[in-house]
């Protein structure tokens, strides 16, 4: 079983910009060691014939299929626009 060292916990805490005192380092070393041990125990399972998956549930797309439909006439759309020019809606400039 691979163990995690106090130096590794200090290194990760430094990367995450976390300040830890010696008691925190000791606590997290023990807790992370337990987590690694639990994850390593999964390697003992026989997964022969088990297909890899990204999710435990059978999920399918529940969205409707895209269908091309006739839109509103341009004149009707432009009628509701405060300003339009050359068949397009004019909007205020936001990028200089």
Beta-strand runs (E) in 1-96: 84-85, 88-89
pTM beyond 0.95: the answer is: no
* pLDDT tens digits along 39-91: 999 889 998 988 888 877 877 777 888 899 999 999 999 998 999 999 899 99
Per-residue pLDDT band at 1 (split at 50, 70, 90): very low
- Report the phi/psi class of residue 13: left, alpha or beta, with left for phi > 0 and alpha for psi in -120 to 50: alpha
Q: Which residue has the higher pLDDT, 2 or 24?
A: 24
Distance CA 25, CA 27 (A): 5
- DSSP 8-class letter at 27: H
* Three-state secondary structure call for residue 39: helix
Residue tagged 């023990």 (tokens):
30
Q: Which residue has the higher pLDDT, 23 or 51?
A: 23
16: pLDDT strictly greater than 90 = yes
- Domains along the sequence of the chain with CATH: 6-44 (1.10.20)
């Amino acid at each position: 079983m691979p163990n995690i060292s106090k130096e590794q916990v200090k290194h990760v805490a430094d990367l995450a910009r976390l300040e830890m005192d010696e008691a925190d380092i000791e606590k997290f070393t023990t807790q992370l060691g337990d987590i690694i041990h639990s994850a390593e125990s999964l390697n003992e399972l026989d997964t022969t014939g088990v297909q890899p998956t990204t999710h435990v549930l059978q999920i399918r797309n529940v969205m409707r299929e895209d269908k091309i439909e006739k839109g509103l006439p341009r004149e009707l759309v432009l009628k509701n626009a405060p300003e339009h020019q050359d068949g397009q809606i004019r909007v205020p400039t936001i990028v200089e």
